[in-house]
Amino acid sequence: MAAEVDRKCSKKAGRSILDRKVVVLGAETIGCNGIYSVVRSPTDPSSPMMHNDAWVFENSKGFKMSREVVGDEPGWIIGIRRNERD
């Protein structure tokens, strides 16, 4: 299960999209579980990193996730590169 945590992420609250979090619970791979934060763009640290027109999030264990659309079905993709896991 993934749930976005916004805490009133609005302009009047002075919050940035970079403050957005996503919480993942109940994943079979334990390292996938946790709080994901928006990854900053390497070319513009004031903007989020994008993949397929979606923000990229990362948890403390190095797992990354983003929204993907396959056909007309949206969903979340979570993964890690093998050498980052060891």
Q: Supply the mean pLDDT for the chain.
A: 82
Q: What is the rounded distance in angstroms from the CA atom of residue 63 to the CA atom of residue 83?
A: 12
Least trusted range by pLDDT, from 35-44, 64-73, 76-85: 76-85
What is the pTM for the complete model shown?
0.76
Tally the domains of the chain: 1
User: Has residue 75 got a pLDDT over 60?
Assistant: yes
Domain region containing 68: 2-85
| DSSP single-letter state for residue 40 | B
